[in-house]
Amino acid sequence: MTLIRAGAVAIDHRICRPGWVQTAGRHVVGCGAGTPPAPVDVDLPDSVVVPGFVDMHVHGGGGASFTEGTAQEVARAAEFHLRHGTTTTLASLVTVAPAQLIAAVARLAETIHRGRPGTVAGIHLEGPWLSEARCGVHDRTQLRDPDPAEIDALLAVADGTLRMVTLAPELPGSHAAIRRFADAGVLVAVGHTDATFEQTTQAIGMGATVATHLFNGMPPLDHREPGPALALLQDRRVTVELIADGVHVHPAMLGAVIAAAGPDRVAMVTDAIAAAGCGDGLFRVGTVPIEVESGVARMSGTSTLAGSTATMDQLFRLVAGLGSDPDVALAAAVRMTAATPAATLGLGRVGILRVGFDANLVVLDHDLRVAAVMVNGEWRRDTDD
């Protein structure tokens, strides 16, 4: 057993100052506010302990890409984000040719079933069923309408590991695709879409429950043509992703969305690509060349954003700084980086520090930078700066 005391601990949606958490094996066996029930093993008076981050939209990091699908690439990307506090992630794939997509999903499914690495909880397909007008960095030559045969083939090779797909609901065949995925227990996200408000509302009614990186990859809000963003934001059945890296969404808009939807409907995501953690330079997303300058990834020769180089601890620090009450903002940041994405994905034992849940936690210093990470009850102290 390990008994940890800290200056602040985020326990079950509240900030306890001080607080304590006890782990045994891979589970939390006790937690509470105030004085621990026994002598502590780890004393962190100047630290904040929060649940391990849950990133439901990430393509890679540390120079590795999930789209490659190999066990080595998956492990490198997952390990990079683990050092930044992400103890649960989806492996997000970009648009590629049909045979390449099938092969990548099959390799990922095998890796996930083998539990290597255990931080990857499933697969997210961002494409290929996207709008050409709003495809961003996705390879437009490989965009296609949803096809029942391809969908059935992907579900078969995924073997239960496919957790979410992003599609544009205005495409021919999208309605049948939404129903097929919903029946298979796969979350449907609306994104990279040129859909109208009405088309998006219809998709939500059919079972779409997630907004892929709200505002990005969709028409802007307009008072006469509100478009998909408003439909997604105002429906309480929908979880909205936000990339809080200071580039994709203005901090004032972040605050407005959180105030409107509430932190139980907002999931912070990195949308990180392989270039995360690698500095500036030339990279690729799928087949598309990317240039990273001053930490911002864009499709080479254009102003089009190409995912991000962010990590979840970076997003946590930004959103924890919003609002006038530090503990309210801190609690909201915990929800949006852990509890809300976990609940959205149906992951029942991660995202919250609670008895019986997995012992996934992050120790943050007084500047909210990662000092240590525990995953499944084991400390990982080789964190990045």
- Give the position of tokens 């397909």: 125
Residue 84 marked ligand-binding? no
Q: Look at the chain and count its residues.
A: 385
Cα–Cα dist 224/298, whole Å: 30
Q: Which two tokens stand for residue 229?
A: 């963003």
Q: Catalytic annotation on 271?
A: yes
365: left (phi over 0), alpha (psi -120 to 50) or beta: beta
Residue 216 marked ligand-binding? yes
Residue 32 marked ligand-binding? no
Amino acid at 199: Q
Longest alpha-carbon distance in the chain: 63
Residue 217 marked ligand-binding? yes
Cα–Cα dist 18/309, whole Å: 34
DSSP assignment, residue 39?
Answer: -
| CA 217, chain centre distance (Å) | 16
Q: Which two tokens stand for residue 257?
A: 């969305």
Please pick, among 55, 235, 245, 271, the residue that the annotation labels catalytic: 271
- Torsions phi, psi of 317, nearest 5? -60, -40
DSSP assignment, residue 335?
Answer: I
Residue 126 marked ligand-binding? yes
Residue 137 marked ligand-binding? yes
Cα–Cα dist 280/149, whole Å: 40
- Judge residue 310's burial from the number of C-beta atoms within 10 Å of its C-beta, 0-12 exposed, 13-18 middle, 19 or more buried: buried
Q: How far is CA 16 from CA 3, 9, 54, 285, 364, in A?
A: 16, 5, 21, 42, 15
Q: Are 152 and 130 in contact (CB under 8 A)?
A: no
Query: How much is the CA Rg of the chain, to the nearest whole Å?
Result: 20
Q: Are 157 and 182 in contact (CB under 8 A)?
A: no
Residue 170 marked ligand-binding? no
Residue 8 marked ligand-binding? no
- Give the position of tokens 């990195």: 270
Q: How far is CA 174 from CA 43, 151, 206, 208, 228, in A?
A: 53, 11, 10, 11, 15
DSSP assignment, residue 272?
Answer: B
Residue 266 marked ligand-binding? no
Residue 306 marked ligand-binding? yes
Provide CB contacts within 8 A for 162, sequence distance 6+. Answer: 105, 122, 123, 125, 154, 155, 184, 186
Annotated binding residues for Zn(2+), written as ranges, equal 126, 192, 213
Sequence ranges of the binding site for substrate? 137, 216-217, 224, 248, 305-307
- Residues annotated catalytic, as ranges: 271
Summarize the annotated binding site as residue ranges.
126, 137, 192, 213, 216-217, 224, 248, 305-307
